[in-house]
Structures are given as C-alpha cells and as structure tokens.
Amino acid sequence: MGMKEFNLKTGQTGERIAKEYLEKNGYKILEKNYRSKFAEIDLVAKKRNELIFVEVRTKKGELFGTPEDSLNKKKLNKLWWNAKSYASRIGWSGPYRIDAVCVVLKPDGVLERISHHENII
C-alpha cells in the first residue's frame, strides 16, 4: 500500500469514528464528503436548530504533530467559504458553525483519542 492509499484509509477510518462519535452525542449527520468549488466538507450535521460543518483531522500517532496542528489559516478560510456557500445553497437562515473533530489512531488503527472542538472560526 502506497502512502496515498495509507492516508486515504486513515482518513476514512477517522471520518467513520468522528461520525459515530457525533451521532452518539445527538448530532444528525446530513451529508458526508460534500464537495463545492471551494473544498470538501467532511461532515454536515445538525443539532437542535444549528447547522454544523465538521472538519475531521486524523493522524496515526502524534510523533510529528497533532491533528489540531494541521488546521492552518488557509484551511480555515476554505472551510468558512465552503460553509457559507452550502448554507446559501440550501437556503439556511439559521445559525451555523464550524467544528473540528480530531482523531488520533494507534499504529494498529485503534482509537487513541478523539477531541471535538466547537466553533473553531
């Protein structure tokens, strides 16, 4: 398995874990991997009357930095425009926010930690 396939598999595992975590915590998942001209939104969820755009960051171990470290200004800016575009497309006039769910896996792919950061922008 090449690095690209390895990263894709790691990312998919992280997204599945994040989705299950959010569902257990009362979030209804509306869409997965929504693509727009700006970027991709990993998960679009709803809780009570709020729309939540979720960026999932997954890493195997934290030897070379945490998943949180990868949320740079450029990435956050893309997420913001993507969220605005999505809300506008569906005619959403209620509140919305952008969250990050950071997943760290052990070398064998088992969950080491999960952190949910609300309203990151």
Tell me the per-residue pLDDT of 73-114, one tens digit each, with 9 for 90 and over: 998 998 999 999 999 999 999 999 999 999 999 988 899 999
Query: DSSP assignment, residue 67?
Result: G
Contact residues for 49 (Cβ-Cβ < 8 A; gap 6+): 94, 95
Tally the domains of the chain: 1
Contact residues for 91 (Cβ-Cβ < 8 A; gap 6+): none
Q: Which two tokens stand for residue 63?
A: 């030897």
For residue 19, give its domain range: 3-117
- How far apart are alpha carbons 18 and 116 in whole angstroms? 9
Question: Residue 33's domain is classified under what CATH number?
Answer: 3.40.1350.10
pTM of the model: 0.92
Q: How many CA atoms lie within 13 A of 97 on its CB side?
A: 12
